[in-house]
Amino acid sequence: MPELWGVINVTPDSFSDGGRFLDAQAAIAHGKRLLDEGADVLDVGGESSRPAGKTYGAGFTTVSAKEEIARVVPVIEQLAGELRARVSIDTVKPEVAKAALGAGASIVNDVGCARIPALAEVAAAAGAEYVVMHNRGSGEVRPPHTSYDDVVSDVLEELLEGAGRVEAAGVPPASIWLDPGLGFAKTAPQTLALLRSLGRFRKSGYRVLVGPSRKSFISELAPNPSGGAPSADDRLGGTAAAVAHCVASRVDAVRVHDVHVMRQLIDVMNALTQPAEGAP
């Protein structure tokens, strides 16, 4: 069964819960709650990565490395220190990653598809794991970033190129994860195609992490009966369906906001796949 990575956005503008955990103590309390609910990893980010497009408009606002460090380091120190949590730092800035790893994080979650060599070098020096998430540009959901010859083949090829760059920086293959980057530089149909093809990513030899939680593709695939789009915090059913598919596809981890519900889902699916008691 996959690991559950719980999301902690220490930001004012993340697409789903921006502002709720900008205060360090609120973020730490949320992290403790996610651990109690069954999270295996806490993924902490200090800069939103919401992509520009029709759903989120202009997208995220860039912040300085100094501000990002100020947001995440106090949170990571508590979560990785006192609570002994496995912590991932969601960043594209080498200086932020270095500070976060120094504070106790052990994974770098790179939403930039390993385009910055120094980021992988920082991870390698710290002996950290590394997530290569597929992305183009800043994730804008519009051409040319959404122009693919074959979205599954192209995304996998670009991810493998990114993983190669991370290996060249000194991170061993066993410490590298691939993330297809659902919703980043991808339309809803393209995201659906990736979800349907997770087996191809698993055959890469790297561990696979998928982040379907509350993404906008859910609102496009399953609009409200009235025809309107469900808000980010009203996409639990669609998220659960996507996570169930990820579990059935045998991915190694899923990144979610609603840990309690998804832990139930994974545990029940695990029970359903076990041999019946007394069966031959």
pLDDT by residue, tens only, the chain of 280 residues: 899 999 999 987 554 555 566 788 989 999 999 999 999 999 999 987 656 455 544 445 678 999 999 999 999 999 999 899 999 999 999 999 999 999 999 999 999 999 999 999 999 999 999 999 999 998 999 999 999 999 999 999 999 999 999 999 999 999 999 999 999 999 999 999 999 999 999 999 999 999 999 999 999 999 999 888 898 889 999 999 999 999 999 999 999 999 999 999 999 999 998 877 655 5
The helix (H) or strand (E) run that includes residue 100 is helix 94-102
Q: Is the Cβ–Cβ distance between 211 and 255 less than 8 Å?
A: yes
Under the phi-then-psi rule, with left for phi > 0, alpha for psi from -120 to 50, and beta for the rest, what region is 40? Answer: alpha
Cis peptide before 117 (omega within 30 of 0): no
The tokens of 74 are what?
């106090």
Active site residue 186: no
* E strand intervals along the chain: 3-9, 41-45, 87-90, 107-110, 129-133, 176-179, 207-210, 253-256
Angle, CA of 169, 171 and 175, to the nearest 5° = 155
Q: Please give the Cα distance from 92 to 114 (Å, whole number).
A: 8
Q: 183-222 burial by CB neighbour count: b if 16+ within 10 A, else e?
A: bbbbbbebbbbbbebbeebbeeebbbbbbbbbbbbbbbee
Domains of the chain, first to last = 3-273 (3.20.20.20)
Which of 86, 136, 255, 263 is flagged as catalytic?
A: 255
**pLDDT at residue 62 in the model:** 78
Active site residue 215: yes
Which of 86, 215, 235, 263 is flagged as catalytic?
A: 215
Any idea which residue has 């066993």 for tokens?
174
State the DSSP string of 56-74: TBT------HHHHHHHHHH
The per-residue pLDDT for range 235-246, each reduced to its tens digit, is: 999 999 999 999
Burial of 10 (0-12, 13-18, 19+ CB in 10 A): buried
Q: Is the Cβ–Cβ distance between 151 and 141 less than 8 Å?
A: no
List Cβ neighbours of 268 (8 Å cut-off, separation of 6 or more): none
Q: Please give the Cα distance from 79 to 147 (Å, whole number).
A: 40
**pLDDT at residue 69 in the model:** 95
